[in-house]
Structure 1
Amino acid sequence: MKILLYFEGQNMIGKSGIGRALSHQKRALSSVGIEYTLDPKATDYDLLHINTYGPKSLHLVRKAKKMGKKVIFHAHSTEEDFRNSFIGSNQLAPLVKKWLVGLYRQADHLITPTPYSKKLLRSYGLTQPISAISNGIDLKKYYPDEKKEAAFRKYFNLTATQKVIICVGLFFERKGILDFVELAKKMPDYTFIWFGDVPMASIPANIRKVVKKDHPKNVLFPGYINGDLIEGAYSGADLFFFPSYEETEGIVVLEALASQQQVLLRNIPVYDGWMEDHKNCYMGNNNQEFEHLIHQLVEHQLPNLSMAGFKTAQEKSITQIGEELKAVYQAVLEQPYDHQIYAKVTR
């Protein structure tokens, strides 16, 4: 079997979780011996696995259907996680939902990262088969490395005893960036580092103001950093704190777990079934709880759950995800061709 993996808008969203999901898919398919192409002009593939939602994505779906190809849509996005992101996102959210549902309905099968996001898709009235498959994690890449950790501390001029809390994400209110900064104000003895960026013109003025100047000295916004530095940060910090209000999975959580780092999350439904408070992570509901938990975790006043978290990451390894994708591909290719779907997208 040969798969066409498609990703539209690499320059715009390649640094996001969706961008990393494509990288994981490529590795996952290679790990189980499945041939793939990234060339949208290719015709010698058996199944289209599409990750994005723009007009080029729609065009490719229609082209695939005309050729009698099966289509899988990877539902990374929902109306819920579009809100509280870019300028005007809340006003556009209902239209985005309508667009997403229109695209998703054209697929023979949907893949989405978690049971929670699968539940959301069902609430949209989507009726085709849906598989909940994690975006997966490259365990070797994030395994703790003393050299990477030393490079991270040197880069930020951190002393050996400096307590550091990190987060990784776009500059979205949904990600909890305002809470991250507010907590840093209350904890001046700790250094808070938020990795990631987004074009400043695309985000609301209040977020832009916080990132550019309205934050305390103990908060750092170094932008998007990859490679050894971010990998060293994951394992070399004292805590990974992710106060996001809405996710379809949260690849950065998997990266922190794979780094054997202590993890503090907001208690939201996406984690149901795989992250459990006081078992493989800690969870809070508001800034008061977060402040208390951050202090306890950084000062080693609570049990270290990092190895339990690492076991969770092991269950979502790239190889495991490859096997799950392979099973879905085989099932879809064995399905009878749906002429009703063909008629909808080709007329």
Structure 2
Amino acid sequence: MKVCLYFENANLIAKSGIGSALRHQREALELAHVDYTLNPNDSYDILHINTIGIKSKEIIHKARREGKPVIYHAHSTEEDIRNSYFGSNAVAPILKKWLINLYSSADYILTPTPYSKSLLLDYGIKVPITPISNGIRINDYQKDQAKINKFREYFKLSPEDKTIICVALPFKRKGILDFVEVAKQFPQYKFIWFGDTFKYLLTHDIQETIKRDHPDNVIFPGFINGDVLTGAYTGCDLFFFPSNEETEGIVVLEALASHSKTLLRDIPVYDPWLSDGVNCYKGKNNEDFNLKIEQIMNNQIPDLTDAGFEVAQERDLASIGQKLKSIYEEVLK
């Protein structure tokens, strides 16, 4: 059995969540000893497609002509297109029709969470759908003091500085404006938002926020990877992710795997696998966030990091690889 993992414009999406999904899928299949190719012109038995562009549609048609089954990994929905890049709200309804057409052309659909599956069912899609996490490479997020030191040195943090981080593209949907507003209430802490700015895609208000309209305790370093980012996850005092819409949130898995204290917006995507006060903390609005941050930073509420780590551990790539292998075998039958 050989699988074609297809990601259109892989270099362009490398810094996004879908780019992380590509890296995770490759490793998951390697751990499960499933042969794969990234080249749709190679010989293969199953097309596992992840992107939604014109070339993706062409690759599906090619697979169909050759009698090969198609599995679509549905990372995108109308809901997570809205309030993202410049003009996204205008194109979201059009893209929804495109997504329905593409996803309906598959033999089988994978979604990252039960929530994203429910969205596709609401679209009227009739193809069989199974939720399966994008997964996480658990071993990459073990606490390493050398990496934490690199993080603190990179940002010239003093031993007394406490840090609250977020990792995401700086879209309105991701909650960047709320992140900045909340930071204004806590000038004693450093708030760091990791994520490529993609200036040509950002709306004017987000560009202004990043350039000048933020307090001194907020830092926008752009895209940073490697030891500095891993050190930030494992060495921060809080991972604060106020996103309004996700299909899963790979960065949330990364935070949980890092034993980071984690504060999320209370949105449907985290149900039922993440519960407020059990394996993370949640808030519905900035008032909630302000209260939870004060409590977390002052150790006034329980540390849930061990329970959060268990959630990530269940989604380790070795487990995800076996689940993918099982689905491939089912589809081939």
TM-score class, shorter-chain normalisation, is over 0.9
Aligned-partner Cα distance in 2 for 1:188–1:313: 31
AA aligned opposite 2:35: E
- SS in structure 2 of the partner of residue 4 of structure 1: strand
Query: What's 1:137 paired with?
Result: 136
Aligned-partner Cα distance in 1 for 2:330–2:297: 47
The CA deviation at 1:122 is 0.4
Query: Which aligned pairs between 1:281-292 and structure 2 lie closer than 5 A?
Result: 281-292=280-291
Query: What's 1:274 paired with?
Result: 273
Query: What's 2:18 paired with?
Result: 18
Query: What's 2:60 paired with?
Result: 61
- SS in structure 2 of the partner of residue 316 of structure 1: coil
AA aligned opposite 2:156: N
Q: Deviations over 1:27-70 (max 9, x none)?
A: 0000011000011211x200000010001101100001000000
Q: Deviations over 1:157-189 (max 9, x none)?
A: 111221100000001000000000011111111
Aligned-partner Cα distance in 1 for 2:207–2:40: 36
Mark the CA change 1:110 to 1:238 in structure 2 (over 3 Å): closer, same or farther. same
Query: What's 1:258 paired with?
Result: 257
Aligned-partner Cα distance in 2 for 1:104–1:57: 11
The CA deviation at 1:137 is 0.2
Aligned-partner Cα distance in 1 for 2:10–2:47: 18
Aligned-partner Cα distance in 1 for 2:73–2:210: 32
Is 1:304 the equivalent of 2:303? Answer: yes
Give the 4+ runs in structure 1 shifted more than 6 A: none
Query: Which aligned pairs between 1:149-164 and structure 2 lie closer than 5 A?
Result: 149-164=148-163
Query: What's 1:33 paired with?
Result: 33
Is 1:128 the equivalent of 2:127? Answer: yes
Q: Is there any run of 5+ residues in structure 1 with no aligned partner, and where?
A: 335-347
AA aligned opposite 2:258: S
Aligned-partner Cα distance in 2 for 1:143–1:126: 40
Q: Deviations over 1:50-104 (max 9, x none)?
A: 0100011011000010000000010000000000001111111100100011100
Aligned-partner Cα distance in 1 for 2:323–2:272: 18
Q: Deviations over 1:181-212 (max 9, x none)?
A: 01111111110000001321111100110011
Is 1:79 the equivalent of 2:78? Answer: yes
Query: What's 2:191 paired with?
Result: 192
The CA deviation at 1:213 is 1.2
> TM-score when scaled to structure 1?
0.95
Query: What's 2:164 paired with?
Result: 165
Report percent identity of matched pairs: 57
Range 279-288 or range 11-20, more displaced: 11-20
- SS in structure 2 of the partner of residue 300 of structure 1: coil
- SS in structure 2 of the partner of residue 157 of structure 1: coil
* Cα RMSD for the two superposed structures: 0.7
The CA deviation at 1:10 is 2.0
Query: What's 2:232 paired with?
Result: 233
Q: Deviations over 1:293-344 (max 9, x none)?
A: 111111211110001000110000001100111111011111xxxxxxxxxx
Q: Deviations over 1:272-308 (max 9, x none)?
A: 0110000000000100110111111112111100010
Aligned-partner Cα distance in 2 for 1:198–1:111: 29
- SS in structure 1 of the partner of residue 231 of structure 2: helix
- SS in structure 2 of the partner of residue 10 of structure 1: coil
- SS in structure 1 of the partner of residue 57 of structure 2: helix
Aligned-partner Cα distance in 2 for 1:108–1:141: 34
Range 142-151 or range 245-254, more displaced: 142-151
The CA deviation at 1:262 is 0.4
The CA deviation at 1:12 is 2.4
Q: Is there any run of 5+ residues in structure 2 with no aligned partner, and where?
A: none
- SS in structure 1 of the partner of residue 124 of structure 2: coil
